Amino acid sequence: MHPLFADRTVTGAIPIWPLAKADCESWLARQPASMARWAKTNKFDGSEGQVLKFPDSDGGIAGIGFGLGDNDNPLVWRALPSAVPPQACYRIDAALAPAQAALAALAWLLGSYSFTRYKSASEGADDKPRLVVPEGVDAADAGRIAEGVCLARDLINIPACDLGPEELAQAAHALAERYGADFNEIVGDALLDKNYPMIHAVGKGSVRPPRLIDFTWGEPDAPKLTLVGKGIVFDSGGLDLKPSSAMLLMKKDMGGAANVLGLAQMIMDAALPVRLRVLVPTAENAISGSAFRPGDVLQSRKGISVEIGNTDAEGRLVLADALTEADSEKPDMLIDLATLTGAARVALGAEIPPFFTDDAALAEDLYQHAENVSDPLWRLPLWKPYAKGLESKIATVNNVTDGGMAGAITAALFLRKFVTDTTGWVHCDIYGWNAAAGPGRPVGGEGQAIRALYSLICARYLPR
């Protein structure tokens, strides 16, 4: 069991009273007059995320009033762990629907997260409040989902000085070793020998060699599930240099890889009956005399020649080689995650990643699971007429369009050229970052799409 959970047999847990705004007044009317006066004095009315400690006669805490607002944010519970006294145990004193209880328990764990790698003294689990597992909640599953999300957060939050391609590979190796997966990596010039020329080209400008991380887990004859994550550990933009303001967050450009590793951890920890393969092309897009240039023509693993219209569109290049390899096995499902385009943020903002797939049934399933677990995703079209903008006069394809319109769609169409044999392909263009702090959501790396994908994968492959 997760260390921030407590068994239901525990005694002395402080009750939490969850109250929707519409129900708060009537609930208070049924309580002792002193509680109603205390709530009025503190302007507690059940608004979303409100926390009020109701005192007992001995000066302690009789219970916690917690505002649910309009009941339309299942993860509002993230606000609680940082707002209640630590080193105490709490229980939800209300009957919650199973799905609501599961999300409340998960939100408690996600809201307890802090990134402490560079702090002088790290907070431990003993310093944080614990929650009695609500009735009917699978504590093990909530714990593994939270740990997968927190792995992604941790990796994204580490600055590029301490997380280069080698260190990302070490993190992946440690994960693979933990679950008995077979691990392999191809490093530096060996990428050319093994025919991954675009991964090599993107990373050759850095003193830190690029690499392809590759591990497999599960029974060989199980349904094949392949995850591909963009692992650009820092993106300067290359010779098409980014302005300094745009470079500040570029440690997060390996957010796709971080989230893929978090999802892989969930899958392996749950012992799902799949043959999992994880591919992470990782590189630093740096500037030097050996960096690839605008106007270069790169050969790809697929045999498609790619004219470089912009060196700052490097993520799709490394993904293309990795997707070609993934597609060669014709997996039952192929999922890639990438912090790929600013256009996706312009279209949907930071909190709703777009996803792309040609499989209508898969799209509907994924959308429904995203709704069920409050991990929002929105389908955008692979609008084929826009592919004309990727035409090149001297190569098979350009890596960017001239006009820049519909950038998330044209990036997905570029990737689509490298996935020709797998029908169950999904591309998620994630942000992987909380730009503004919110309750239980500190500024920094974030797990996106992986809870929805995990829910989908469980539904598809677990015996019923």
Which of the residues are catalytic?
Answer: 242, 316
DSSP assignment of 288-349 equals STTS--TT-EEE-TTS-EEE-S-TT--HHHHHHHHHHHHHTT--SEEEEEE---HHHHHHH-
H-type alpha helices, 133-196: 139-157, 165-178, 190-193
Q: How many residues does the chain have?
A: 464
Of 384, 338, 379, whose CA–CA distance to 359 is shortest?
379
Q: What does the alpha-carbon distance between residue 159 and residue 253 come to, in Å, rounded to a whole number?
A: 11
Cα angle: 183, vertex 189, 193; to 5 degrees? 80
* Residues contacting residue 180 through CB under 8 Å, at least 6 positions apart: 217
Q: What does the alpha-carbon distance between residue 243 and residue 234 come to, in Å, rounded to a whole number?
A: 14
Tokens of 83: 């707002």
**Beta bridge partner(s), residue 334:** 226, 425
Angle between helices 21-29 and 33-41 (to 10 degrees): 140
Q: Report the chain's terminal Cα–Cα distance, integer Å.
A: 24
Tokens of 301: 């693993």
The torsion of the CA quartet 107, 260, 319, 162, rounded to 10 degrees, works out to: 90
H/E element holding 426?
A: strand 425-429
* Residues contacting residue 207 through CB under 8 Å, at least 6 positions apart: 286, 288
Q: What does the alpha-carbon distance between residue 29 and residue 406 come to, in Å, rounded to a whole number?
A: 54
